[in-house]
A = this chain, B = another copy of it.
Amino acid sequence: MLEARLVQGSMLRKVVDAVKDLVSDANIDVSSSGFSLQAMDTSHVSLIAMHLRADAFEHFRCDRPMSMGMSLANLAKVLKCAGSDDIVTLKANDDGDTVTFMFESPKEDRVSDFELKLMDIDSEHLGIPDTDYCATVTMPAGEYARICKDLSSIGDTVVISATKDGVKFTTSGDVGTANVTVRQNTTADKKEDQTIIDLKEPVALTFALRYLTSFAKATPLATHVTLSMTRELPVMVEYAIQDMGHLRFYLAPKIEDEDMEGEDEAP
List residues of chain A with CB under 8 Å of any chain B CB: 71, 74, 77-78, 80-81, 98, 107-117, 143, 150-151, 153-154, 174-183, 185, 188, 193, 195
Contacts and interface: CB of A to CB of B under 8 A. Distances in A.
Contacts of A111: 180-181, 183
A98 B178 CA distance: 12
Given A107-B193, A188-B107, A113 B179 contact: yes
Given A188-B107, A193-B107, A180 B117 contact: no
Contact of A78 (B114, B176, B182): B176
Q: How many monomers of this protein are in the complex?
A: 3
A248 B80 CA distance: 29
Contacts of A185: 107, 109
A176 B109 contact: no
Contacts of A154: 77-78, 81, 114
Given A112-B178, A113-B179, A114-B179, 13 more contacts: A71-B175, A74-B174, A74-B175, A78-B154, A80-B153, A81-B154, A107-B193, A109-B195, A111-B183, A112-B180, A113-B178, A114-B178, A116-B176
